[in-house]
């Protein structure tokens, strides 16, 4: 009697064996199957049909029905899952099942609905490609097999147009295109732009905000080969596509391609592996590529395609000015120069954007007489003051509290907000410009995709002269009337202990600066700082990403940081820090560690955010100059760690290529 070897969504690194039904055959490999588990039932995926399993047949339970509503998941899907499972030390069953939409993992019969058919519309008029765009389009040849390319193009250089031309070519060759974007919510226009460009084609979206039924429907269309274009966020990278011909990753540097919980993978890196396995080209696009990708492009592993000019001939790159705030009087953190700039834009009927990446009214409320500060009881963080709804709120764990009328410790009624967030800047600007219409754009004022679309319409419709916003506003939008961007409060990232902070700051400032002067009107960017001599600003003013990247890479090479070293981090969280650290120490002292000389372990330390939601968190960094050496070490280490006796409430995980510590 044959045995089904089944992948189940469980945190265990093994398959589960069941006695297969009499009709079983190898054709069942890749199909979903109903299996008894504990006192209930689960849906798993048949990975193999074998003559015997790990256990004697009489100890095995029998599998239930094999579900035949879908064709079997193909071998290339399993190959990709297998790579991700090995590389990221994630249980294979978890990887396989996280790739399926929820509806396919439930025991009830699935819903069936058709995807939105293409609406035959006018074929769009295509702009003539710029010389640089034409070179880029010609360089990526869908028929030529695997190749990875970086498309490095300044903001507004027409990267999207390059993507669309390549998609067009892939479709013309009868293939499907997979286009990944960081956060689909922030770019609702992109979906429309893609649909408008390919009116005869089926375009489906795959992201976590879709209703469950819609996601399942879109996934089925992609898997069946009915969808020509799949537009998705990181989770879409595992979608099986029978005719895959091209993968595009837009804003490839964006941290949201990295999943930070559950299975911690980088969709960008998985995309490159997938393209290689499938023998298709992959294009990574950005104005500020990640340093990993930049190093790959310069080391010859990826092709490098460059767009240096803005696509719209009249649009030039904005002029960037660095304002030394040590010598300037500020009011609510805003300099006279910026105020004057805003006034001029108001007179000319243009728009200004004040960028401050901190929402709320003030980052902390404090008592000057006794030193009380509004701290979160559950995290190593302050509670942020939100005056709009009179709450103190933790931005890490969601804890909230009403604003006290007096100091909770000494009763002093004169407690103050310190520092400033978007609400406070908005309030002050409104006082300064009583006639102006100001729109604040952050996660408090925009909570859903619908609200975001409405907000974008209002901005485009000229309903605001001044925008105050966080990084939500920095990404990929064209506001033709926006000619002034002022940046406040960027300094904290300059001398951060996090060595990736400058890379993120540069990308963010470049992106927000790129909002100014997208059309005929010339743009100006004013950055207020106390450290005007910081080299990051010199590169920024010169729009010199390459110079900035070269400097950063040199520092990283000297310090032995990625991309010149390879890292994995073991994290442990427990009610007591001592337990977390003791566990990490035990992991560092395992006998196999000494045998792997090419892997170095640092001392266990508390994480930068040492306490989150009432759990204390420690970490242990493992590093090697050799990726194969690290990869050989990790599975053995993980298995040995699983054998460590830990307190019941301790949780741990391994993350490969961590971005944050
Ligand atoms: P990016 O994605 O690089 O920021 P976009 O693709 O959004 O840039 O292009 C910026 C603007 O330039 C858009 O309004 C787009 O329609 C326009 N554009 C792109 N390519 C061309 C071209 N070849 N000729 C004229 N306009 C173009
Ligand atoms: Zn007090
Ligand atoms: Zn908290």
**130 CB less than 6 Å from ligand 1?**
yes
pLDDT-above-90 percentage for the chain:
84
Residue the block writes with tokens 């040492």 = 610
pLDDT at site 141: 87
> What is the layout of strands, in order, in the sheet containing 400-402?
384-386, 391-393, 400-402
Whole-model pTM over 0.85: yes
Under DSSP, is residue 338 helix (H, G, I), strand (E, B) or coil?
A: helix
Ordered domains of the chain (ranges, CATH): 3-105 (3.40.1440.60), 131-307 (3.40.50.300), 319-360+420-552 (3.40.50.300), 566-656 (3.30.70.360)
Report CA(372)–ligand 2 centroid distance (Å): 5
**158 CB less than 6 Å from ligand 1?**
yes
Under DSSP, is residue 225 helix (H, G, I), strand (E, B) or coil?
A: coil
Of all helices (H) and strands (E), which one includes residue 344? helix 336-348
**Which atom from ligand 1 is nearest to the alpha carbon of 287?**
3
**311 CB less than 6 Å from ligand 1?**
yes
Residue 191, both tokens = 């979906």
Whole-angstrom Cα distance, residue 111 to residue 97? 18
**Which atom from ligand 1 is nearest to the alpha carbon of 160?**
6
549 φ/ψ angles, rounded to the nearest 5 degrees: -65, -40
**160 CB less than 6 Å from ligand 1?**
yes
Best residue among 154, 156, 167, 284 to mutate for probing ligand 1's pocket (most ligand atoms within 8 Å of CB) is: 156
**Which atom from ligand 1 is nearest to the alpha carbon of 476?**
4
pLDDT at site 453: 87
pLDDT at site 475: 76
**Which atom from ligand 1 is nearest to the alpha carbon of 130?**
23
Report CA(387)–ligand 2 centroid distance (Å): 20
**133 CB less than 6 Å from ligand 1?**
yes
| Torsion, CA 534, CA 536, CA 539, CA 542, rounded to 10 | -70
Contact between 194 and 179 under an 8 Å Cβ cutoff? The reply is yes
Ligand nearest to the CA of 372: 2
Q: Whose Cα sits closest to atom 4 in ligand 1?
A: 156
Of all helices (H) and strands (E), which one includes residue 249? strand 244-250
Whole-angstrom Cα distance, residue 257 to residue 265? 8
Best residue among 160, 164, 179, 523 to mutate for probing ligand 1's pocket (most ligand atoms within 8 Å of CB) is: 160
pLDDT at site 79: 98
Report CA(274)–ligand 1 centroid distance (Å): 28
pLDDT at site 186: 66
Q: Give pLDDT tens digits for 200-213.
A: 999 999 998 889 99
pLDDT at site 1: 77
pLDDT at site 314: 82
**161 CB less than 6 Å from ligand 1?**
yes
pLDDT at site 110: 58
Which residues of the chain are modeled with pLDDT < 70?
Answer: 109-113, 116, 185-187, 476
Report CA(19)–ligand 1 centroid distance (Å): 58
Residue 489, both tokens = 């409060």
Report CA(410)–ligand 2 centroid distance (Å): 4
Report CA(163)–ligand 1 centroid distance (Å): 11
Pick from 230, 265, 221, 249: which is nearest to 115 by CA?
221
pLDDT at site 313: 81
- All residues at 6 or more sequence positions from 267 whose CB lies less than 8 Å from its CB, including other chains: 180, 233, 234, 235, 237, 249, 257, 258, 259
pLDDT at site 223: 98
Report CA(364)–ligand 2 centroid distance (Å): 14
Ligand nearest to the CA of 370: 2
pLDDT at site 476: 66
């Amino acid at each position: 009697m044959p045995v089904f070897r089944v992948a189940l969504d469980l945190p265990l690194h093994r398959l589960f064996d069941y006695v297969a039904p009499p009709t079983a055959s190898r054709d069942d490999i890749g199909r979903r199957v109903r299996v008894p588990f504990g006192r209930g039932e689960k849906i798993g995926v048949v990975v193999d049909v074998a003559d015997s399993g790990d256990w004697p047949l009489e100890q095995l339970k029998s599998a239930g029905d094999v579900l035949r509503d879908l064709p079997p998941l193909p071998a290339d899907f399993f190959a990709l899952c297998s790579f991700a499972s090995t590389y990221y030390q994630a249980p294979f069953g978890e990887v396989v099942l996280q790739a399926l939409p929820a509806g396919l993992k439930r025991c009830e019969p699935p819903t069936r609905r058709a995807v939105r058919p293409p609406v035959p519309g006018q074929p769009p008029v295509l702009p003539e490609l710029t010389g640089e765009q034409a070179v880029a389009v010609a360089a990526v040849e869908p028929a030529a097999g695997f190749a990875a390319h970086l498309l490095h193009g300044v903001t507004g250089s027409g990267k999207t147009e390059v993507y669309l031309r390549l998609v067009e070519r892939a479709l013309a060759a009868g293939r499907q295109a997979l286009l990944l974007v960081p956060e689909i919510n922030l770019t609702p226009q992109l979906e429309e732009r893609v649909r408008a460009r390919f009116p005869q084609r089926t375009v489906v979206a795959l992201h976590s905000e879709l209703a469950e039924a819609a996601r399942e429907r879109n996934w089925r269309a992609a898997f069946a080969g009915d969808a020509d274009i799949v537009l998705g966020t990181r989770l879409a990278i595992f979608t099986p596509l029978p005719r895959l011909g091209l993968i595009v990753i837009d804003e490839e540097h964006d941290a949201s391609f990295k999943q930070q919980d559950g299975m911690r993978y980088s969709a960008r890196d998985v995309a490159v592996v997938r393209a290689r396995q499938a023998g298709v080209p992959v294009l990574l696009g950005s104005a500020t590529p990640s340093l990993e990708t930049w190093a790959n492009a310069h080391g010859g592993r990826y092709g490098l395609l460059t767009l240096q000019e803005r696509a719209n001939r009249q649009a030039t790159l904005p002029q960037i000015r660095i304002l030394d705030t040590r010598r300037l009087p500020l009011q609510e953190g805003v300099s006279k120069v910026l105020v004057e700039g805003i006034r001029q834009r108001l007179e000319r009927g243009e728009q200004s954007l004040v960028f401050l990446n901190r929402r709320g009214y003030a980052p902390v409320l404090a008592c000057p007489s006794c030193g009380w500060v509004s701290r979160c009881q559950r995290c190593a963080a302050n509670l942020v003051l939100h005056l709009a709804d009179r709450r103190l709120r933790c931005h890490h764990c969601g804890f909230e509290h009403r604003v006290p009328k007096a100091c909770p410790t000494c009763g002093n009624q004169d407690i103050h907000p310190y520092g400033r967030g978007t609400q406070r800047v908005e309030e002050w600007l409104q006082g300064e410009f009583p006639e102006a219409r100001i729109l604040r754009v952050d996660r408090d004022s925009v909570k859903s995709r619908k609200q975001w679309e409405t907000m974008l319409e209002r901005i485009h419709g000229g309903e605001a002269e001044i925008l105050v916003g966080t990084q939500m506003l920095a990404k990929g939008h064209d506001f033709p009337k926006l000619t002034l961007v002022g940046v406040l409060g960027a300094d904290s990232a300059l001398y951060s202990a996090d060595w990736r902070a400058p890379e993120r700051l540069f990308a963010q400032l470049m992106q927000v600066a790129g909002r100014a002067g997208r059309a005929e009107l010339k743009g100006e960017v004013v950055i207020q700082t106390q450290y005007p001599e910081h080299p990051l600003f010199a590169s920024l003013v010169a729009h010199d990403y390459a110079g900035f990247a070269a400097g950063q890479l040199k520092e990283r090479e000297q310090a032995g940081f990625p991309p010149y070293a390879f890292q994995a981090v073991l994290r442990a969280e427990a009610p007591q820090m001592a337990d977390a650290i003791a566990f990490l120490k035990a992991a560092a002292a395992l006998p196999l560690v000494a045998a792997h000389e090419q892997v170095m372990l640092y001392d266990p330390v508390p994480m930068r955010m040492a306490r989150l939601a009432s759990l204390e968190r420690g970490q242990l960094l493992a590093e090697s100059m050799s990726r194969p050496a690290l990869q050989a070490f990790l599975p053995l280490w993980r298995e040995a760690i699983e054998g460590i006796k830990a307190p019941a409430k301790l949780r741990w995980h391994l993350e490969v290529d961590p971005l944050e510590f």
